[in-house]
A = this chain, B = another copy of it.
């Protein structure tokens, strides 16, 4: 990361063309495109570090038709298939035109990160629940950090300042309702000048909202889904709160599908936040292993179901379940599980009997379940839960066995402010609000009832870039 960011006291007094709120994937993509198109741009970030929640994601990005897929023998993926997968998981609630834009723009967005920004990807593709094929591309770092770093480098080369510790207090409109700027304060409520207790920065062209989701805003999320109280853990940073979403609502932005809040079903209750568990959970145990209900010793779900289906199946059990993979599965997956093992989130066992004893599972029932599953793997057909077995032809039988407790955590807010295909924010009376664009998790309607894994970064980049391009054109 660059070690110098712009200081609050340096915020401009003259108008800039475009103000971007938020420095995650979407905000930085928007800022880069707007600046590349010749606009003067600033980025404001409420936290003291850039990147928001994007920084702690694993960086996986869904894109159909890449050479990485061809290398893996996947020749039949397409934007149409990705569109269908997203609509299916979204239960048809997705705004179809937006999904088309995402699916059609996914490959170009991926190539933009690789060729224009210089992010390095592993030569592999992974499949997550609900996708028809493996189409997730993961950076070498296995972290969103590398994309954020490359985006900031590009932004710096374009001369765009990024102001940290600069929370937005309000959007400013002119008398006709056009958004013409923002009011900011420093984090201590301090002033940029001695003129006012809040400081206005004017935007000659547009303000782009890329402020992220509200997964950590307990009061706001609980009003939409009362089950999601403070006892439920979240993979999000504590800063994933709703104040900018609410400010957009204040000036008339239409909130859509706010009650559609995603639980990440591959998280560990034995660590806080996103943690190290999901690498084992999402990349190893679900595709290459099984989920076992410790109360019965049996499987209970297709482990490659979408996140909503999987989380609901777990919640019905009312207690954490155990994800299990063996040495062969872990080797095929090819991920470094040692950090999670050292942290104690993932455990290793020399035998299934030891594993069963540790989690209080009936050892005979567990052995029976795995024998049955292995038999089905050999036959190539999961007759119990119809899990696609194409990519995991190996029975689970080689020690050491890896295991983790799974329990859902609040992960992603599908709902947010309504946008159109040009990333313009839509008023509740269904017209675009002049001068206001939005992209990323703060928006709603793209994923409907359930977002598929690795589609968020795709969305952030596709819609963020569109927002920046459109804002610069005004």
Q: State the A residues within 8 Å of B (CB).
A: 92-96, 219-220, 223-227, 242, 246, 249-250, 252, 254-260, 415, 418, 426, 428-430, 445
The CA of A224 and the CA of B96, in the complex, are separated in Å by 12
Report the separation of the CA atoms of residues A426 and B220 in the bound assembly, to the nearest whole angstrom: 11
Is the Cβ of A223 less than 8 Å from the Cβ of B256? yes
How far, in angstroms, from A337 to B337 measured CA to CA in the complex? 68
Closest Cβ–Cβ distance, residue A84 to chain B (whole Å): 15
Please name all residues of chain B whose beta carbon is closer than 8 Å to the beta carbon of A219 when the two chains form the complex: 430
Knowing A250-B252, A429-B246, say if A93 contacts B225 (CB, 8 Å).
Answer: yes
Taken together as a complex, chains A and B put the C-alpha atoms of A387 and B246 apart, in Å, by 44
Assembly CA distance A227 to B227 (angstroms)? 27
A-B CB proximity, top 7 nearest = A257-B259, A219-B430, A246-B428, A95-B226, A92-B227, A223-B256, A223-B418
In the assembly, what is the distance between CA of A226 and CA of B418, in Å?
A: 12
B428, A226: Cβ atoms closer than 8 Å: no
Contact B226–A96 (Cβ < 8 Å):
yes
A254 neighbours in B (Cβ, 8 Å): 223
Q: CB within 8 A of A260: which of B246, B249, B259? A: B259
| Bound Cα distance from A252 to B247, whole angstroms | 10
Residues in chain B near residue A259, CB distance under 8 A: 93, 256-260, 415
Asked if A426 and B223 sit within 8 Å, CB to CB, the answer is yes
Contact assessment for A255 and B255 in the assembled complex, using a CB-CB cutoff below 8 Å? yes
The complex is assembled from copies of this chain, and their number is 2
Return chain B residues, CB-CB under 8 Å to A445. Answer: 223, 226
Taken together as a complex, chains A and B put the C-alpha atoms of A316 and B254 apart, in Å, by 30
Which single residue of chain B is at the shortest CB-CB distance from A415? B259
Can you spell out 17 A-B residue pairs with CB atoms less than 8 angstroms apart? A92-B226, A219-B430, A220-B430, A223-B254, A223-B256, A223-B426, A223-B430, A224-B256, A249-B249, A249-B428, A250-B252, A256-B259, A257-B259, A258-B258, A258-B259, A259-B259, A259-B415
For A242, what are the chain B residues with a Cβ–Cβ distance below 8 Å? 428
Distance (whole angstroms) from the CB of A358 to the closest CB of chain B: 32
Report the minimum CB–CB distance from A280 to chain B (whole Å): 29
* C-alpha gap A224/B430 in the complex (Å): 12
Contacts of A94 in B (CB 8 A): 226
Q: How far is the CB of A214 from the nearest CB of chain B, in Å? A: 11
Q: Cα distance A255–B220 when bound, in Å?
A: 11
Q: Are B428 and A224 interface neighbours, CB within 8 A?
A: no
Contact between A256 and B256 (Cβ–Cβ < 8 Å)?
no
* CB–CB B220/A428 < 8 A: yes
Contact A224-B95, Cβ < 8 Å, known A249-B428, A250-B252, A429-B246: no
Check A224–B257 contact: CB distance below 8 A.
yes
CA distance A215 to B226 in the complex (A): 24
Kindly state the separation between the CA atoms of A220 and B219 in the bound complex, as whole angstroms. Answer: 25
A192 to chain B, nearest CB (A): 25
CB distance from A169 to the nearest CB of B (A): 14
CA distance A92 to B223 in the complex (A): 13
CA distance A223 to B426 in the complex (A): 10
Chain B residue at minimum C-beta to C-beta distance from A418: B223
B contact residues around A426 at 8 Å (CB): 223
Closest Cβ of chain B: how far from A240's Cβ, in Å? 17
Q: CA A224 – CA B92 in complex, angstroms?
A: 11
Q: Does B255 contact A93, Cβ atoms closer than 8 Å?
A: no
Specify which of A224, A225, A246, A426 lies most central, judged by the most chain B CB atoms within 10 Å of its CB: A224
Of B252, B258, B418, the residue contacting A255 (CB under 8 A) is: B258
CB distance from A37 to the nearest CB of B (A): 29
CB distance from A224 to the nearest CB of B (A): 6
CA–CA, A429 to B94, complex, Å? 27
B-chain residues with CB within 8 Å of residue A255 when the two chains form the complex: 255, 258
* Residue numbers in B under 8 Å from A250 (CB-CB): 252
- Give the contacting residue for A227; candidates B93, B220, B223, B226; CB below 8 A: B93
CB-CB < 8 A to A224: which residues of B?
A: 256-257
How far is B427's CA from A223's CA once the two chains are assembled, in angstroms?
A: 11
A466 CB, nearest partner CB in chain B, Å: 19
Q: Which residues of B contact A227 (CB under 8 A)?
A: 92-93
